[in-house]
Amino acid sequence: MVNTSPQHPTPINSPVYIPPLESGDRLTRFEFERRYTAMPNLKKAELIEGVVYVASPLRFEPHAEPHGDLMIWLGNYKVATPGVRLGDNPTVRLDLDNEPQPDAILLIDAACGGSSNLGTDGYVEGAPELVAEVAASSATKDLYDKKRAYRRNGIQEYIVWQVFESTVSWFSLQDGEYVALVPNASGIIQSQVLPGLWLDVSALVAGNMQQVLAVLQKGLSSVEHEAFVQQLKSN
């Protein structure tokens, strides 16, 4: 959630004073949004299981560059799949205790049968089909509290790229639990909810985007992807 409204500083002893968001605050989603709206210069904050996380400035190699590569991969899928939409750092209203701002989401448009929608103020409400996060390491909240919130709210697939460990964890929701998808004999993971979304994991962590896109193109040329596109068009 990024707020662009003008800032009007209010004395701390004023009855209308709104406290700033601080990491570790325990808030309702309503109060989280109220404080976020009052901080126009804040670029990213999340409410995960009722706890506030305010993002620190991001370094290039551990986050910004991997994030860019992730968006290139997902963006190419979106272009080839009418009815699927891609978001970069969107606010997602999941439930009363969770309002994350994932690095990337892929969702099926509500008009095509997707499980989420856009609220009257433009924010995503409900569970996108796929959420992806870039994490520095496996110690991150992305693999603990956030993963639990995503599972409980029915996000079908969840990708966490742990940059320091050169690992990509791809979880698929099956019978209410997240099951890790494993690469096939060719080192490729195939999405179970978005047909044709194929990933060469080793190529991605090595920064070999030509190979990443070559493998994706194979997925986009598959009969499963063609059938999925036709399905989206029929809704």
Question: CA angle, 44 as apex, 39 and 49 as ends, to 5°?
Answer: 100
CA distance 163 to 137: 6
- 198: three-class secondary structure by DSSP: strand
Last residue of a domain, one of 57, 72, 97: 57
Question: CA angle, 119 as apex, 117 and 123 as ends, to 5°?
Answer: 90
CA distance 105 to 155: 10
Q: What is the CA radius of gyration of the chain?
A: 19
Residue 48 and residue 117 share a domain: no
Residue 10 and residue 39 share a domain: yes
Residue 3 and residue 96 share a domain: no
Alpha-helix runs per DSSP H in 9-162: 29-37, 65-79, 145-152
pLDDT of 198-235, one tens digit each?
999 999 999 999 999 999 999 999 999 999 999 999 98
| Number of domain units in the chain | 2
Which residues form the domain of 53?
1-57
Note every long-range contact of 62-69, with CB atoms under 8 Å and residues 24 or more positions apart, other chains counting: 62/136, 62/163, 62/164, 63/134, 63/136, 63/163, 65/207, 66/134, 66/161, 66/163, 67/103, 67/104, 67/134, 69/204, 69/207, 69/209, 69/212
Residue 90 and residue 47 share a domain: no
Query: Which residues, listed in sequence order, are joined to residue 171 by a DSSP beta bridge?
Result: 158, 180
Residue 84 and residue 45 share a domain: no
Write the CATH number for 174: 3.90.1570.10
Last residue of a domain, one of 18, 35, 57: 57
Residue 123 and residue 46 share a domain: no
Residue 142 and residue 110 share a domain: yes
What pLDDT tens digit does each residue of the chain (235 aa) get? 545 444 444 544 455 788 898 988 999 999 999 999 999 888 899 999 989 989 888 889 889 999 999 999 999 999 999 999 999 999 999 999 999 999 999 999 999 999 999 999 999 999 999 999 998 765 567 888 899 999 999 999 999 999 999 999 999 999 999 999 999 999 999 999 999 999 999 999 999 999 999 999 999 999 999 999 999 999 8
Residue 97 and residue 17 share a domain: no
Beta strands in the chain (DSSP E): 45-48, 51-54, 84-88, 92-93, 104-108, 116-118, 124-126, 130-135, 157-162, 167-174, 177-180, 188-190, 198-200
Residue 123 and residue 44 share a domain: no
Residue 71 and residue 21 share a domain: no
Residue 79 and residue 25 share a domain: no
Residue 221 and residue 124 share a domain: yes
pLDDT of 115-125, one tens digit each?
999 999 999 99
CA distance 205 to 197: 17
Last residue of a domain, one of 25, 57, 89: 57
